[in-house]
Amino acid sequence: MSDAKTVPLGSVTLPLGFGDHVITSLLFNHDANPVHHKPDHAVQWMMGLLAGANLAEGDLAKAGAEERTYTMGTRLLERPDVVVMPGIVLAAICYERFVPPEDLAVSVTTTFTYPLLVPTKGQVDVRIEAGEVAGKAAANGKRQLVIEAFGPGLFGAPVRLLKMEVDCYAATSDPEAVYKEAVAPEFERLAKLEAQKPGMPGHSHPAAISQEDRRRYARIVGFDRRISPAAWQAKIPRVLTEIIDLMENHEAYMAEVKTYHEGREDEAERRVAIARYVDKEIRYRHLGELERSGRIESLARMTQQLYARQHTVYDPRLFVKDGPATKPGVPLHLDLHLYEMRLRRGIHRFYTGARQGERQVFRGEATVTGQPLVTRELANFLCEVNHAFETLRLFTYRANA
């Protein structure tokens, strides 16, 4: 483990493939997000991330944004037949592998650090390591586990894909006592975020895990178990995707974004670079001169969202054996809304919660980074390499043009 304060519990290397893990996860979430299962969209989305230092490997971490984009972008285009595995699904695999189903999990915090690229043909090996934080064990059975997943980066060397921290109690613990000690104070804190602020985008969504969903989830994680907190947490990004789609046309949100960017020098430079790229599309006859301004605006408005962190606190009384949240088909209502945004850093924080009737099943917070997809560096890179952004295929002149 990377944290010296943890006592190793074990590690396992798992082969993860497109069919069993990506397609099945999409079916489980009923989500047609093209980033996950279309190679050209996956590469397009990854391109928007490459200027950031957090994805840089080796010496590139010290390089500038332009060098990172050119070096990593070139390497990415050498392997276009890959998709992005949903990080929350990888988190579920980690959870089910090391948290016994009998334990009472009260808090799960997952930090996503690097998207996992999976080939559409074949598989990729992911190493999962688990440890227990030393000195955290208590007489009441409380434990804090740290689980990390590592996979190959763009250059082949292992990179950390995610880090998960799980607070749980032994199965022999009293669920009512655990709730009062560990959950009620967090529920009280998170409840302050529940009231949606006027003008902020949000969404409520009915959800359930059917027998068929449960079967698909078992295929994803490799275990046929009762419905766990991780299975419900995997539902959260499905609703986040809907909110993010709404944000692109949300009047109050877009007005704030526009106000933030107006007059900024870096935004002016980005639009100049985008205009250069659009001129290339016109030169290669992919669009006409009259479409120029609309195309620039369209590319400038594109955003990429990266699910960066999820913190969820569960009511353990509902997840005991045969508890109401563990039964297939039980309807919950997921409530999510934006409660804070820091546009300078591209950070958006969402309240996440689920209720069964009037009873709260879990509460939490999700952090999503939202940056322009077509950065200045990416627009300049696309001007140098002979690729069209939408399809990332080579430019060709139209026949009979």
* Each residue's pLDDT tens digit, 295-343: 999 999 888 888 899 999 999 999 999 999 999 999 999 999 999 989 8
CA distance 307 to 40: 20
Cβ atoms of 343 and 256 within 8 Å: the answer is yes
Give φ, ψ of 328 to 5 degrees.
-60, 140
Buried b (16+ CB within 10 A) or exposed e, 328-341: eebebebbbbbbeb
What pLDDT is stored for residue 363 in this prediction? 97
CA distance 120 to 93: 19
What pLDDT is stored for residue 400 in this prediction? 46
What pLDDT is stored for residue 141 in this prediction? 83
> Residue 35 forms beta bridges with which residues?
none
* Each residue's pLDDT tens digit, 182-213: 999 999 999 999 877 778 888 888 999 999 99
What pLDDT is stored for residue 401 in this prediction? 43
CA distance 401 to 397: 8
What pLDDT is stored for residue 139 in this prediction? 57
Amino acid letter at 111? Answer: T
Q: Which burial class, exposed, middle or buried, applies to 127 when counting CB atoms under 10 A from its CB (0-12, 13-18, 19+)?
A: middle
Enumerate the domain spans of the chain: 6-248+303-372
* Cα separations in angstroms, 312 against 45, 51, 190: 27, 30, 10
Q: Which residue numbers in the chain have pLDDT < 50?
A: 2-4, 400-401
Q: What is the CATH number of domain 6-248+303-372?
A: 3.10.129.10
What pLDDT is stored for residue 244 in this prediction? 80
* Cα separations in angstroms, 304 against 6, 41, 48, 160, 373: 35, 11, 7, 21, 5
